[in-house]
Every structure is written in C-alpha cells, then in structure tokens.
Amino acid sequence: MTSVARPLDDPSLRKDDRPPPFPRILVANRGEIALRVIRTCRDLGIETVAVYSDADVDAAHVAAADTAVRLGPAPAVESYLRIDAIIDAALVTGALAIHPGYGFLSERASFVRAVTEAGLTFIGPSAESIDALGDKLGARRTVSAVGVPVVPGTFEPAPLDRPDALEGIVANADAIGFPLLIKAAAGGGGRGMRLIASPQEMPAALVAASSEARAAFGDGSVYLERLIHPARHIEVQLLGDLAGDVVALGERDCSVQRRHQKLVEESPAPGLSVDERDALHDMAIRAARAAGLANAATAEFLFDQDRRFWFLEVNARLQVEHGVTELVTDLDLVAEQLWIAAGEPLSPAVRDAADRARHPGRHAIEIRLAAEDPARDFAPVPGRIGRWVMPAGPGVRVDTAIAEGERIPPDYDPMIAKVMTVGRDRRTALQRMRRALDEIVVTGVQTTLPFDRVLVRHRAFVDATGLSTDWVPDHWDGPGSRAASYATAAAIAATSTGNANAEARLAAPAPPSLRKDEPVHGDWRSAGRRAATDRWPR
C-alpha cells in the first residue's frame, strides 16, 4: 500500500447512520493545525467556529470555518491565549466543544477546567491528567512511580523566588552532574530550556529560562535534568478512551532537531528490534494509564547509545507530527479525538492499528518547513511569501495554511508547512521526500528548505546510522552550504537582469549542493521538466 487516498469506508469517519459526535465545535488555534482540524470536522459533518487575532483576519483557517470570532490584537497573550474570550466565542456561537490544536492553550489545565465549567467539552485529556502528565514535573513523578525510567534530575520546581536558595539549586546540579539542562515545567518546543556546562552559568541561565518560560507559557517554573547525550528522540503516539483503555499507535523518531525543536519526524523509528519496540510501547501505555489519560497524547523518550529508553515527558495533546502516524496507520487521529471526547470507546479500527503498529508495514517521513535561516542558526525570518508551490503526487501529503503573497506574522511560530511522504518502506518514503522537496518553490522569505534538501541526501540520515539529536551540529554547515550556491545565484541575477536572452541559458542541470557526502541515489530531475517550471517571470 503506497497510496494516501483514504478508502470510502474509512473507519475513523464511520459514515453510517449516526449523527456526528458534535453538531458544532470551536477550534482554538490558528495556522495549519486549525485548518487540519476544520477539515476533519467537515468530513464528519460538524460545523466549525474559528477564532482569530488581528494578524489573521485573512488567514486560511478563518475562511475555511463556518463562523469566525475575533479574539483581539496580534500578540498571543491578547488573542489565542485569552481563555475568557475563547469560551465567550464558543458560548455565543453555540459550539458545544473546543479543540485546542497544539501549542497555545492545548496543555493548560486551567483552560480545560474553564471549558468544562462553562458546560463545554474539551477535546483532549482531562484537567487531571494534564496536571499529572502535561506538566513535566508532574509527569516525572507520576511515571517514575510506575517504574518507567525517567531522566535523572529534580522533581520539584527550582525556588527562584528566594535568592538565598541558589546554593541549594547548585548543590542539586552538582549531584546530577554537568552538563545539564534547565527545563520549563510547563514547557514544550524547547522554549524555556537552557544547556549549561558549569555552575557559574547557573544564575543567568535560570533567570533567562524562567522568563522565557513565563513569556511562552505564563508559568516560570523550571527544573534540572541530566543531559542524556548522545541520544535519539523517540516518542509513542497514545490514544485512550474515557473508560481508561489506552493503546499505542506506533512510535516516531524525531531525533533531527535544532534548539530542541523538531525538524524531521518519521514512523516507525528505524532500527528498533521487535523487543525494543514492544518494551517502548508498553512503557508508554503504563505511563498513560498511571495518569488516567484519555484522548490523544504522546510519550517522549530518549534512546541512548546503550539502547536504553529514558522517559522525557508526555505531551497531553495532538502533536505537530501526528500526520506521520496517520499515514502509517490509516487513521484520522482528529476524528478519533472527537469520537473519544463524545464518549465513544476505542474503535476496533484503532485496536487493529495498535496491533499492526508493533510490526509496521509502512514508513512515513515529515519535514517541517519553517521561515528560518539555516545559515544563521535557524533564526526566524518573518516576512511576506512571494511564490508558493507545494509538492503533490503519489504518497505526498502537505499540511499548510500559507498561500502565495501571504504575510508570516512575527507573533507566532515560524513553521509554514509540513511536508509528509509515505511508502512501503523507509527507502520509498525517502525517495518520495527527495522528489517532493525538489518540487517546492518558495520565494520572499528564507526557509529551511536548503537544510532539508541536504538532509534527505546525506548518508548519515539516509542509512539512519547517524540519527541523533546532534545531527545538525554534527553534519550541517549552513554558511558553507549557502556560500556554495552564492556564485550561481549571482550569475543568474546578472544574466536575468543584464541579458535579454537569459532564458535560453537555462541549460543542463547540475546536482544540488552537498557538503560532505555524495548523493546516495541519483536525483530525479529532467531538463524538460525543469525548463517548464523554472521560467523567468517577466
């Protein structure tokens, strides 16, 4: 099976005589995830209410919804993080449930309580399991209690409000050992996290991490954790119903990261033995049961060089990279979330997928395309998109809310698209990814595409032996890669502006620039196709 097309009797949608799980829901998010949730709602016959800030008046998720309600000005604290405004919007429009997407309020227990107290259904785990699992410190306590190995570190927030307590924090740090990580208890996506090598760096790093955490999550609590290094990042997709039944829908390897944020995800994790995979899924299920988890969540682990798993945290929400699991399992995880929130037990299709996930027969890869400069340490570069061409074709799925000419606001996350491919095995999925990336045209802003193009051809990724959270520092030379294309770009600029016959010069193609390694497979490209796509826009 390599097709992404879903069968008509898709079990997640259950298009039988029954009414949809909710007549109308509100989607408390923006961008591609809001659009993705709205799409499933439309599939199920659920009406949708979008919310938006002043920066998103013309955004795709607003256009796609049946109704839209303005929340406030562009900064997230004045719009997408306003619990009162979001609940008002739901009550005014008659929405009966709220889907939080990821980020923003998705893992805020206070939000879940406010939603429930307003008589609405929260589509996600309960406030109690978010307290127990969504908070990283709570998760460490809960999970270690049921015998799942957690990364060595502290179990209580560092007392930053008491200047005299610094000595105690440093003593804790010494006991854990340097280098170590300061992490935000409410954290995610690497925000509020600092790597420190010595006790001298602690005071400044504690303050910086805490203030970043407060700005991002409204909670400045931080704690200490040993750096497991080198390691792979492997996580398990969980789905649980309100009766307490939990299944694991396979794992994802998300090792390739920068700033502790994922750049690439794939499922299954390459190179795991059957026993390792079984043990991993079982640990994740045990952690979820301990916290009484319902709905969708992900348990994250580090996999060290001695092939040991260390529990990191549970993300009690839908993940950015959930689409990879959807491509492998053929489930619609958002639809499953909706059915579960409406009180349905885990369906036979979900149980089936969980069984198959132990012996995966497909492979999917996702690349997160972001408006970032990979030659400047992936610094965000907001701006206005010029041309915008996304890939398509067999085995390709693109989740995005961006269109040509659209402004990327500096107020939100720089991710602009998720490009996914699927195939019968990793090699096929990777071949399709190379082809898909070649089809992408984005002008107006710098994107992570140069990095992605090199990654999918690099031996240390292609043979999966180099998978590590250090992939970027180990293998990526951004300035060097950029410099290698500089002369070419200058020559094209000169010929396109100074020479009327420039178009005729689009001659034989050469391979894309690579840093250390040669391409492993021949690139799929043809002069004829290139000539058709790369016309000078006069």
Partner 1 sequence: MAAMSPIRRQLVVPTAASAHPGDGPVTIDPADPSDATASRWGTTVGRLGPPDTEGRRVAEIVVDGWRYEFTVEDADRAALRERASRDRGGAGRVGGRLEIRAIIPGRIAAVAVTPGDEVAAGQTLLAVEAMKMQNELRAPRAGVVGRVAAAVGTTVEVGALLLVLE
Residues identified as active-site: 317
Residue 73 in the binding site for partner 1 (CB under 8 A) = no
> Which of residues 265, 330, 399, 452 is near partner 1 by CB under 8 A?
452
Q: Residue 276: is it exposed, middle or buried by C-beta count within 10 angstroms (0-12/13-18/19+)?
A: middle
Q: How far is the CB of 371 from partner 1 (least distance, A)?
A: 8
Bridge-based pairing of strands 24-27 and 97-99 is parallel
* Residues 239 and 199: beta-carbon distance below 8 Å: no
Q: Which of 298, 447, 468, 469 binds partner 1 (CB under 8 A)?
A: 447
Return the number of the residue (93 or 481) whose C-beta is nearest partner 1. 481
Strands 295-304 and 231-240: antiparallel
- Residue among 170, 351, 495, 517 that touches partner 1 (CB under 8 A): 495
Instruction: Rule CB under 8 A: choose which of 380, 391, 395, 423 binds partner 1.
Output: 380
Closer to partner 1 by Cβ: residue 163 or 528: 528
CA separation for the pair 444, 431 (Å, rounded): 28
**Residue 142 interacts with partner 1 (CB under 8 A)?**
no
Comparing CB distances to partner 1, the nearer of 4 and 520 is 520
**Rounded CA Rg of the chain:** 23
Q: What are phi and psi of 103, to 5 degrees?
A: 70, -160
Q: At what angle do helices 202-217 and 166-176 cross, to 10 degrees?
A: 100
CA 66 to chain centre: 26
Question: What's the full length of the chain, in residues?
Answer: 538
Q: Let me know: does 173 contact 202? Beta carbons within 8 Å.
A: yes
Exposure class string for 187-211: b at 16+ Cβ within 10 A, else e? bbbbbbbbebeeeebbeebbeebbe
Could you give the CA distance from residue 432 to residue 266 in angstroms, rounded to a whole number?
13
Residue 9 Cα distances to 247, 331, 356, angstroms = 22, 12, 19
Q: Is 384 in the site for partner 1 (CB under 8 A)?
A: no
Contact range with partner 1 by CB under 8 A, out of 229-237, 300-308, 346-354, 382-390: 382-390
CA-nearest of 156, 127, 107 to 292 is 127
Kindly tell me which residue out of 63, 197, 215, 243 binds partner 1, with binding defined by CB under 8 A: 215
# residues contacting partner 1 (CB under 8 A): 73
Specify the residue, 281 or 435, whose C-beta has the smaller distance to partner 1.
435
Regarding 382 and contact with partner 1 (CB under 8 A), the answer is: yes
Q: Site residues for partner 1, window 333-372 (CB under 8 A)?
A: none
Task: Return the residue of 79, 255, 446, 469 that touches partner 1, per CB under 8 A.
Answer: 446
Residues 398-437 within binding reach of partner 1 (CB under 8 A) = 410-414
Which one, 72 or 270, has the nearer CB to partner 1? 72
**Options 4, 166, 170, 208; binder of partner 1; rule CB under 8 A:** 208
- Give the per-residue contact string, 224-253, with partner 1 (x = CB under 8 A; - = no): ------------------------------
> Between residues 358 and 376, which has the closer beta carbon with respect to partner 1?
376
- Decide: is 445 part of the binding site for partner 1 (CB under 8 A): yes
Residues 464-493 close enough to bind partner 1 by CB under 8 A: 479, 481-483, 485-493
